[in-house]
């Protein structure tokens, strides 16, 4: 199959409320959307790169530049028989995971639509519903956070994730636990701590947490293995696991007891499935993370979360947790059992609101086959 045209849309969707994490405050979902066209079909993907390189080294500016300069032009020469052809072409470019992700998902959506099967089927997903939770940020005061927690429990989310940082940790978890002793709770430190903070983790270790996410440096695996030895609570790694080799290292070192899979962080679905399979064979559970994606990226994540080794609720919430209006139709909704349904239609299984995307686009670039 031949790709004839690739359109890039830089958008910024305001979040209904900002998400503050240890390293900063997110008020918008900046994204570059990728639309692949060819053979009378289209496919969509999302590059969830922000305005500032704080989660990883990328921004939406680097994503646009790398896509149009290096990643996209060689694709027009390919006869695409499977996603591997595109993954292999892109492997000549080092890094730039978010840029590659949007292109991989768009091509996979395009290929799945050509076959008339869903993204989940294409990936080997087996579930019809994926258990999910909600990720809530740091707030100006603890009562505001507790009010937000109660709002989301009332909406039906059965697992809460709270962001922590030094000074916003033990007391917050204690307050939560005193009011909700039996609610499934985890914390995400987004790399805000060092090994000398061990006493904080020993205190958290007594509070029945499902997992402690990425406590130490964003690019560390070894020191996490030292911390994990001291704790009963499973550590889960997010930022540190960018490739299948990183997952192998974390398994060998016993640096964590679960791995957070975000396809975007791993350059796309090819590497994400590889990490899923490596972990499954090693007896290491995985769970699905999120990057506050618009509906395009989120529905792709839901398809990924349909694979069998996803063992804990995903950071994939309903559209109305993030945005006043999502860019997909129908939007993602929460089922009464704290799950989201895996779409069954071809490809993403939802419609992308092209008119809305066109009107939101701050930058649009169209690259055509010559």
- Asked if 168 interacts with ligand OSB (CB under 6 A), we say no
Give the H/E segment covering residue 65: helix 60-66
- Asked if 9 interacts with ligand OSB (CB under 6 A), we say no
Q: Pick from 7, 31, 89, 135: which binds ligand OSB (CB under 6 A)?
A: 135
Residue 68 annotated among the catalytic residues of the structure: no
**Positive/negative CA dihedral, 363, 318, 347, 263:** positive
3-class SS of residue 213: strand
Read off the tokens for 356.
């809305």
- Asked if 238 interacts with Mg ion (CB under 5 A), we say yes
Closest CA to 132 of 154, 148, 156, 164: 156
Closer Cβ to Mg ion, 261 or 307, answer by number: 261
Closer Cβ to ligand OSB, 20 or 42, answer by number: 20
Q: Which of 122, 262, 353, 370 is catalytic?
A: 262
Backbone torsions φ then ψ of 41, nearest 5 degrees: -125, 165
Applying CB under 6 A, the span of 217-225, 270-278, 288-296, 331-339 interacting with ligand OSB comes to 288-296
Read off the tokens for 236.
């889960």
Residue 163 annotated among the catalytic residues of the structure: yes
Applying CB under 6 A, the span of 37-45, 90-98, 199-207, 285-293 interacting with ligand OSB comes to 285-293
Closest CA to 71 of 41, 91, 48: 91
- Asked if 157 interacts with ligand OSB (CB under 6 A), we say no
Residues in the chain: 370
The site partner of 315 among ligand OSB, Mg ion, none (C-beta below 5 to 8 Å per kind) is ligand OSB
Q: Which of 10, 122, 161, 163 is catalytic?
A: 163
Residue at token pair 């993030």? 322
Cβ at position 79, least distance to ligand OSB in Å: 36
Between CA 269 and CA 274 the distance in angstroms is 8
What are the start-end ranges of the H helices in 72-96? Answer: 83-90
Read off the tokens for 51.
């305005």
Instruction: Answer for the pair 51, 30: CB distance below 8 angstroms, yes or no.
Output: yes
What is the chain's percent helix, strand, coil content, to nearest 5?
40, 25, 40
- Asked if 293 interacts with Mg ion (CB under 5 A), we say no
Applying CB under 6 A, the span of 77-85, 175-183, 267-275, 284-292 interacting with ligand OSB comes to 284-292
Q: Are strands 129-131 and 339-341 parallel, antiparallel or unpaired?
A: antiparallel
Number of residues lying near ligand OSB (CB under 6 A):
11
- Residues 195-214 as x/- pattern, contact with Mg ion by CB under 5 A: ------------------x-
- Asked if 190 interacts with ligand OSB (CB under 6 A), we say yes
- Asked if 220 interacts with Mg ion (CB under 5 A), we say no
Backbone torsions φ then ψ of 77, nearest 5 degrees: -90, -10
Q: Pick from 269, 290, 313, 347: which binds ligand OSB (CB under 6 A)?
A: 290
Question: Looking at the annotation, which residues are catalytic?
Answer: 163, 262
Give the residues lining the site for Mg ion (CB under 5 A): 188, 213, 238
Give the residues lining the site for ligand OSB (CB under 6 A): 55, 135, 188, 190, 238, 289-292, 315, 317
């Amino acid at each position: 199959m031949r790709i004839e045209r690739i359109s890039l849309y830089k958008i910024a969707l305001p979040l209904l409320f900002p998400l503050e994490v240890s390293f900063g405050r997110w008020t918008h979902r900046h994204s570059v959307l990728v639309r692949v066209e060819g053979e009378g079909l289209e496919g969509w993907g999302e590059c969830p790169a922000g305005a500032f390189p704080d989660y990883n080294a990328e921004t939406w500016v680097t994503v646009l530049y790398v896509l149009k300069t290096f990643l996209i032009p060689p694709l027009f020469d390919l006869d695409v028989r499977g996603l591997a052809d595109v993954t292999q072409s892109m492997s000549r470019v080092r890094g730039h995971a978010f840029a590659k992700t949007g292109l991989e998902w768009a091509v996979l959506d395009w290929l799945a639509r050509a076959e008339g099967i869903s993204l989940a089927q294409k990936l080997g997903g087996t579930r019809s519903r994926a258990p999910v939770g909600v990720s809530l940020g740091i707030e100006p005061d603890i009562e505001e956070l507790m009010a937000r927690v109660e709002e989301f429990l009332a909406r039906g989310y059965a697992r809460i994730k709270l962001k922590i940082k030094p000074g916003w940790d033990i007391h917050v978890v204690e307050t939560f636990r005193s009011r909700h002793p039996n609610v499934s709770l985890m914390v995400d430190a987004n790399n805000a701590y060092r090994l000398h903070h061990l006493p904080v983790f020993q205190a958290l270790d007594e509070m029945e947490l499902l997992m402690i996410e990425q406590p130490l440096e964003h690019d560390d695996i070894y020191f996490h293995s030292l911390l994990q030895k001291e704790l009963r609570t499973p550590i889960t790694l997010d930022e540190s696991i960018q490739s299948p080799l990183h997952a192998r290292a974390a398994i060998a070192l016993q640096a964590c007891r679960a791995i957070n899979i975000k396809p975007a962080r791993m350059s796309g679905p090819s590497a994400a499935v590889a990490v899923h399979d490596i972990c499954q064979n090693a007896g290491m559970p995985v769970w699905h993370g999120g990057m506050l994606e618009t509906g395009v990226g989120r529905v792709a994540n839901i398809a990924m979360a349909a694979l069998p080794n996803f063992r804990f609720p995903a950071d994939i919430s309903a559209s109305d947790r993030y945005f006043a209006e999502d860019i997909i139709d129908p939007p993602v909704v929460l089922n009464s059992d704290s799950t989201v349904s895996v779409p069954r239609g071809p490809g993403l299984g939802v419609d992308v609101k092209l008119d809305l995307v066109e009107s939101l686009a701050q930058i649009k670039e169209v690259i055509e086959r010559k």
